[in-house]
Amino acid sequence: MIDSAFHTGNRRSFQNLIGGELFVLSGYEAVQLTGDREVPFEQEANFWYLTGIEEPEWQLIIDGSFVALVRPDVDPIHAVFNGGLSTEEAQKVSGVDTVISFEEAAEHIKRAAEDKKIASTIRQDWARHGFAPNPAPEKLHRKLKKMFGGVTNRRLELARLRAIKQPVEILAIREAIDLTVEAFAFVARQLQGLNYEYEIQAEFDYHFAKHGSTHAYEPIVATGKNACTLHYVKNTEQLRAGELTLLDIGARVRGYSADITRTYAYGNVSSRHKAVHEAVERAHKEIISLLKPQLSVKEYYESVDQIMSRELQRLGLIDNLDDPRYRDYFPHAVSHGLGIDVHDPLGAPEYFLEGMVLTVEPGIYIPEEGIGVRIEDDILITSGGHENLSIKLPTSL
């Protein structure tokens, strides 16, 4: 069960990794959408992993054996409109007994700076992905940098801890996957009677909401050429007979994500459409069969390149296995970690390890033909090899 004992255990494991250093971590703050509306709040994954707190502007301090949550100052008017988390509720959720104010936290950090030259936190380099990051973690980093001689980034250490999923995490991921599979199966049966991409999304919206769940990420419902835009999320176009429709959708259950993709025929499709789908389906099965503990990540990606190049050559899209046009038709990575975040960190491993959960999602995209196919399943690395957690959902066209 995901409860305070889970978050407490995570903190203790992390404390063992960082020793007695001062570690300060910020949760996310609320961000404006437009006018006086806020973006729907979602907590920073590392902060949630260590605390379970799902409200904005909280912080965590770990200083040797001292552990404290830092409570934000909530304006009374804000509390009336938006509510908030009481000290008692925060203690119950997190398992942290000590809750202090921002002023008390500042005093603690100031005293620590008198005899510690280095502090630590977690920073993510979202700028390299072209994203505008939530401002809270960077504000904290700037503050620590002014007070200490150096600030160590403990992102990798926590990523490696998060990469190996505990039984309660695997159970939550299974629940998210099972709910997603149910929704896919329902939509697949109804598909030929639907007319627009948004109608497909609406079926998933309803199914997830009916079960107290949400989408783990913006759903992708892409018909025809839209599937060649990898993160297409408009989901507004009319479905057309004779084309393929790509669905990349996952539920979030108890804080954990599913991530599944299937590509379905809408009406009768051409032999070319079928050939592309068959190529992706063959590659998908072969790539999954590679996965096992202690498999070199480098060797895995080299094998994937060979498998995908062979299928592209078979389709007449490239001339040979070393053709540089390979990435024109398969431009994304075949796998990523899965967990709290839909792209959960694996900690830059050299080898796959038991307890990791990752996706396998080969795809072939041919913009000049208006064809895009992707098939994605969620895989658990086990002691004896792997388990396909989403195997109940057929991959057929």
238 and 301 belong to one structural domain: yes
286 and 345 belong to one structural domain: yes
Helix, coil or strand: residue 332: coil
How many distinct structural domains can be found in the chain? 2
Q: Compute the distance between CA of residue 16 and CA of residue 64 in angstroms, rounded to an integer.
A: 10
Last residue of a domain, one of 161, 194, 216: 161
Q: What is the pLDDT of residue 38?
A: 81
Residue 100 token pair = 């202090």
DSSP 229-278: STT-----SBP-TTEEEEEEE-EEETTEE--EEEEEEESS--HHHHHHHH
**pLDDT tens digits for 319-351?**
999 998 999 999 999 999 999 999 999 999 999
Pair 298, 349: CB distance under 8 Å = no
Domain interval for residue 318: 164-388
147 and 260 belong to one structural domain: no
Identify the CATH number of the domain in which residue 266 sits: 3.90.230.10
Per the domain annotation, does 397 fall within a domain? no
pTM over 0.85: yes
Last residue of a domain, one of 109, 140, 161: 161
Per the domain annotation, does 124 fall within a domain? yes
Per-residue pLDDT of the chain (397 residues; tens, 9 = 90+): 899 999 999 999 999 999 999 999 999 998 888 877 888 889 999 999 999 999 999 999 999 999 999 999 876 656 556 667 999 999 999 999 999 999 999 999 999 999 899 999 999 876 666 777 888 999 999 999 999 999 999 999 999 999 999 999 999 999 999 999 999 999 999 999 999 999 999 999 999 999 999 999 999 999 999 999 999 999 999 999 999 999 999 999 999 999 999 999 999 999 999 999 999 999 999 999 999 999 999 999 999 999 999 999 999 999 999 998 999 999 999 999 999 999 999 999 999 999 999 999 999 999 999 999 999 999 999 999 999 999 999 999 9
193 and 322 belong to one structural domain: yes
Question: What's the first-to-final CA gap in the chain, in angstroms?
Answer: 37
259 and 271 belong to one structural domain: yes
**pLDDT tens digits for 209-235?**
999 999 999 999 999 999 999 999 999
Q: What is the pLDDT of residue 75?
A: 63
Q: What is the pLDDT of residue 127?
A: 60
Q: Compute the distance between CA of residue 190 and CA of residue 202 in angstroms, rounded to an integer.
A: 12
